[in-house]
Amino acid sequence: MSPDFLVPLLLPVAAWPVARRAPLPPRAASWLLAGGALVLALGSTAALAVQAAAGLSLVPAVAELGRFSPAAFGGTDVPLSTACGLALAGIGFALVRAVVRYRSWHRRVHAELDAHHREAGFVLLPGAEPVAFAVAGGGGRIAVSSGMLAALGPRERRALLAHERAHLRLRHHRFAAVVTFAATLNPLVRPLATAARFSLERWADEAAADQVGDRRLVATAVAKAALATAPEPSPALAATGGPVPRRVLALLSPKSGRRSLAVLAAAAVLTVSAGSAATALDSAADFHTGIEIAQRAGDR
């Protein structure tokens, strides 16, 4: 088994330490982690595709279609190529299932929001259960339950709504979609996806603090909303998402000035991502060269 094949598959592991404790501003961390996760996931998928394609090149019908000699790929590891093909099929199935489930959830949520009254820029959901989230589509919508409003004071409600509006204004659903896609392509990217979603919540926290002019108020609103809400997995972006104690601590602490550590963290993620991309491109280039050589051999 060639090391060039393993590198893109395993490189995401090298980014885990940085993803967990990257001393980066939330906005920069969101861009870096989402972009790095996407590049790493695409690199590993490309490595699987190249290996699977090498195995397909041994099939006479494929060789005839491509007008090349399959003998040129005689050194291909057939069991490995078969495993890569099966892995790609599994990834394809997981992607389709994820898209179908998200679309179903998205339609269901918007249908429910359509049935309720909208006031002061958000949809008011009846019921004592504390709920607050932002969802893309239809120009972006914010939903808040009566129970959540009752759990917060007037100023805290303003901070909570500022957080949810920040998610919509800053297009955070696009970042969330990218990291979900990347984690589906390669499960080893999930720690980066989790860290990216945390950074999105921190980004919205800071945007809300800038709007209301009080970081402590936002921290209080986030903490009270989280304490009132029962944790439940959801694709929606919400003020109660992510490790809330870490978010509250960050809001109550002075903004970090450790620029040198931030630069090192960014350089680490970028280096790992670039290494994955370069290795995948080299493998694809080698495979393409092999095809050209096989085509010339088939013409003789």
Q: Tell me, letter by letter, the H, E, C secondary structure of 142-192.
A: EEEEHHHHHHCCHHHHHHHHHHHHHHHHCCHHHHHHHHHHHHHHCHHHHHH
d(CA 295, CA 65): 11
Q: Which of 9-18, 172-181, 228-237 is modeled with the greatest confidence?
A: 172-181
* Residue partners of 14: CB distance under 8 A and separation at least 6: 268, 272
Phi first, then psi, for residue 123 (nearest 5°) are -90, 125
Per-residue pLDDT band at 44 (split at 50, 70, 90): confident
pLDDT reported for residue 265: 60
222, two tokens:
């986030």
Asked if the model's pLDDT at residue 26 lies above 70, the reply is: yes
pLDDT reported for residue 89: 94
Per-residue pLDDT band at 25 (split at 50, 70, 90): confident
Mean pLDDT calculated for residue range 7-12: 77
pLDDT, tens only, 207-229: 999 999 999 999 999 999 888 87
CB 18 within 8 A of CB 271: no
Percent of the chain with pLDDT strictly greater than 90: 36
Per-residue pLDDT band at 296 (split at 50, 70, 90): low
d(CA 72, CA 67): 12
39, two tokens:
């590049």
Per-residue pLDDT band at 79 (split at 50, 70, 90): confident
d(CA 204, CA 200): 6
Dihedral Cα 185, 189, 192, 198, nearest 10 deg: 50
Per-residue pLDDT band at 294 (split at 50, 70, 90): low
Least confident of 10-19, 97-106, 136-145, 238-247: 10-19
Asked if the model's pLDDT at residue 298 lies above 80, the reply is: no
pLDDT reported for residue 118: 77
pLDDT reported for residue 202: 93
Smallest Cα–Cα separation from 228: which of 165, 298, 151, 113?
Answer: 151
Mean pLDDT calculated for residue range 157-169: 94
Mean pLDDT calculated for residue range 267-289: 64
Residue 240, helix vs strand vs coil:
coil
pLDDT reported for residue 6: 73
Name which residue leads in pLDDT, 68 or 198.
Answer: 198
pLDDT reported for residue 39: 86
Q: At what angle do helices 215-228 and 154-169 cross, to 10 degrees?
A: 90
Mean per-residue pLDDT over the chain, rounded? 81
Asked if the model's pLDDT at residue 156 lies above 90, the reply is: yes
pLDDT, tens only, 216-265: 999 999 999 888 876 666 777 777 777 888 899 989 987 765 555 556 66
Asked if the model's pLDDT at residue 74 lies above 90, the reply is: no
Asked if the model's pLDDT at residue 206 lies above 60, the reply is: yes
Mean pLDDT calculated for residue range 123-131: 88
**What DSSP state is assigned to residue 237?**
B
Percent of the chain with pLDDT strictly greater than 70: 73
Starting at the edge strand found earlier in the chain, the sheet holding 141-145 runs 118-119, 122-125, 141-145, 132-135
Per-residue pLDDT band at 121 (split at 50, 70, 90): confident
